């Protein structure tokens, strides 16, 4: 797909998300957080849902967890503008509560379309929910394992609809490292798997 086609398709998703009323979150959010980054990224990060800062700015991972993500990207020599960052939910759940199953069902098709357009080599999931959703969608048998057992592992997957191939690498959510240095060093180690995967391809 040409760069131009990608830009147009991603813009169409953005416009749909802005108008979306498939669940009730549009009533309480300030701005939707559709996604940000390179439309031909080799690496796509998938978080759970926007937080308070993201809701105000429309930019994914722009708060404290985003600062950690930036630091982790630097640790593997990857520029933030070269990756694509999105969430399962495009609108913030009130008071940062967990996404409800019907919200995930309503919103995830946008994410799956974003993945198919961007066609990253690596899909790096951030946190438990994102790992479970993505691995389950791709039919990975280990999808229900806890994030501590999944983090840093590489799963070769195929999209059942588009037949495209990706490598999924589950990672802890960067927010776990805000007050925990051990988690930060775990994350740094696990981030190396992304770089290794790109070298191997």
The contact set with ligand URA (CB under 6 A) reads: 33, 47-51, 54, 60-61, 65, 87, 126
Long-range residue pairs from 146-152, CB within 8 A, at least 24 positions apart, any chain: 147/172, 151/186, 151/190, 152/189, 152/190, 152/193
Query: Smallest distance from the beta carbon of 172 to ligand URA, in angstroms?
Result: 12
Which residue, 39 or 173, is less far from ligand URA as judged by CB?
173
Query: Smallest distance from the beta carbon of 165 to ligand URA, in angstroms?
Result: 25
Which residue, 99 or 120, is less far from ligand URA as judged by CB?
99
Which residue, 78 or 139, is less far from ligand URA as judged by CB?
78
Give just the sign of the alpha carbon dihedral 27, 101, 110, 135.
Answer: positive
Query: Smallest distance from the beta carbon of 195 to ligand URA, in angstroms?
Result: 22
- Give SS3 for 168: strand
Which residue, 63 or 201, is less far from ligand URA as judged by CB?
63
Residue at shortest CB range from ligand URA: 47
Which residue, 33 or 147, is less far from ligand URA as judged by CB?
33
d(CA 73, CA 113): 25
Query: Smallest distance from the beta carbon of 2 to ligand URA, in angstroms?
Result: 28
Provide the pairing of β-strand 84-87 with 36-37. Answer: antiparallel
Which residue, 8 or 96, is less far from ligand URA as judged by CB?
96
Per the CB < 8 A criterion, the answer to whether 25 and 103 are in contact is: yes
Residue-by-residue DSSP string for 36-68: EE-TT-SEEEEES---HHHHHHS-TT-SHHHHH
Query: Smallest distance from the beta carbon of 163 to ligand URA, in angstroms?
Result: 28
Query: Smallest distance from the beta carbon of 25 to ligand URA, in angstroms?
Result: 14
Sheet containing 122-126: give its strands across. 36-37, 84-87, 43-47, 122-126, 165-171, 155-158
Provide the pairing of β-strand 165-171 with 84-87. Answer: unpaired
């Amino acid at each position: 797909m040409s760069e131009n086609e990608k830009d147009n398709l991603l813009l169409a998703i953005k416009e749909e998300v802005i108008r979306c009323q498939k669940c009730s979150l549009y009533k309480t959010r300030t701005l939707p957080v559709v996604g940000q980054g390179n439309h031909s990224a080799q690496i796509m990060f998938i978080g759970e849902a926007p937080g308070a800062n993201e809701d105000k700015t429309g930019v994914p991972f722009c708060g404290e967890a985003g600062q950690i993500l930036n630091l982790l990207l630097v640790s593997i020599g990857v520029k933030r503008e070269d990756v694509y960052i999105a969430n399962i939910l495009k609108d913030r759940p009130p008071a940062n509560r967990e996404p409800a199953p019907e919200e995930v069902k309503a919103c995830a098709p946008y994410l799956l379309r974003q993945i198919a357009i961007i066609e990253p080599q690596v899909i790096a999931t951030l946190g438990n929910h994102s790992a479970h959703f993505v691995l389950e969608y791709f039919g990975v048998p280990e999808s229900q394992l806890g994030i501590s057992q999944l983090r840093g592992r590489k799963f070769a997957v195929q999209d059942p609809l588009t037949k495209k191939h990706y490598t999924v690498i589950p990672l802890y959510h960067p927010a776990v490292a805000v007050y925990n240095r051990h988690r930060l060093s775990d994350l740094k180690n696990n981030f190396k798997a992304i770089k290794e995967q790109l070298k191997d391809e």
